[in-house]
Amino acid sequence: MTIGKTIRKLRKEKGLTLNQLATLIESDPGNLSRLERDQQGYSDQMIGKIAGALNVPVAALFAEDEAELSMLMDLVDQSRKRSEPFDENVIRVPMGTRPIPVISSVQAGALRDMDCPYEPGDGYAVIYTDDMSLSRWTFSLEVDGDSMLPRFQHGDLLIVDPELSPNPGNFVVARNGTNQATFKKYRPRGMDENGNTVFELVPLNEDYPTMRSDTEKLTVLGVVVEHRNKLR
């Protein structure tokens, strides 16, 4: 199923006309019609509005077939039917509305050479966030290794926005002369004779060395804006 066909199917199941849905998402009916016919692209913001208007998670709009869509909707229905709180120290929150592609460190390392941003289909997985302020280039990486222990574990997920400039103490994703990306703490160390910022990339695990931009070619690719850690 395409995203357009899925939107049309869900819209009709909700008993909404094309004009009614267009009004709910504050869009032109013509644009929505072309989207449903897969003749027009879409923005992350528009997809989030459509999912909200249809009262479904964004993941449902990206279902590959009717079986997957049915499974997702069953899970949503089951969740909504549970009225009792699971635990007093947690609250339920809406599912994320912004899809973020999880890419490899090699893909991230090639970021500056790309002409267009990563789309959800470009990654090997997709995660969701409610932060609609992130740039379109935003991507996710999986932590590999133990150089950032104890705060960051192997397998944790990072959400990275390449449009942000790093501040002292930020965690960043960077590359050296290769297309391989690394994840470290950013520490500026002044300016060089050409007026460029000299900075260090600092591991949290003291068993690993600190890298400096004045001794090797380092390029900051983006700032880590969210950390999702695994508990086991």
User: pLDDT tens digits for 71-80?
Assistant: 777 766 665 5
- CA dihedral over 46, 110, 190, 169, signed as positive or negative: positive
Q: What per-residue confidence (pLDDT) applies to 119?
A: 66
Predicted confidence band of residue 95 (pLDDT cuts 50, 70, 90): low
- The label of the residue with tokens 């290769």 reads 178
- The label of the residue with tokens 């009916």 reads 29
- What residue segments make up the domains of the chain, in order of their start? 3-81, 98-228
Q: What is the mean pLDDT of residues 201-230?
A: 92
What percentage of the chain reaches a pLDDT higher than 70?
82
Query: Residue 32: is its pLDDT beyond 80?
Result: yes
- Least Cα distance to 120 among 97, 103, 96 occurs for 103
Answer whether 32's CB lies under 8 Å from 46's CB: no
Predicted confidence band of residue 63 (pLDDT cuts 50, 70, 90): confident
Between the two ends of the chain, the Cα-to-Cα distance in Å is 35
**98-228 topology per CATH:** Umud Fragment, subunit A (2.10.109)
Contacts of 107 (CB under 8 A, 6+ apart): 118, 122, 123, 139
The Cα–Cα gap between 140 and 228 comes to 10
173-215: per-residue pLDDT in tens?
A: 998 877 778 899 999 999 988 888 999 999 999 999 999 999 9
Q: What per-residue confidence (pLDDT) applies to 118?
A: 66
**3-81 topology per CATH:** 434 Repressor (Amino-terminal Domain) (1.10.260)
Query: Residue 89: is its pLDDT beyond 80?
Result: no
Cα separation values, 224 from 4, 38, 164, Å: 32, 34, 9
Q: What per-residue confidence (pLDDT) applies to 126?
A: 81
120-167: per-residue pLDDT in tens?
A: 666 778 888 878 888 888 989 999 889 999 999 988 999 999 999 999
Predicted confidence band of residue 113 (pLDDT cuts 50, 70, 90): low
Query: Residue 112: is its pLDDT beyond 70?
Result: no
Q: What is the mean pLDDT of residues 78-102?
A: 60
- Least Cα distance to 96 among 44, 144, 172 occurs for 44
Q: What per-residue confidence (pLDDT) applies to 86?
A: 45
Answer whether 1's CB lies under 8 Å from 41's CB: no
Q: How many CA atoms lie within 13 A of 121 on its CB side?
A: 5
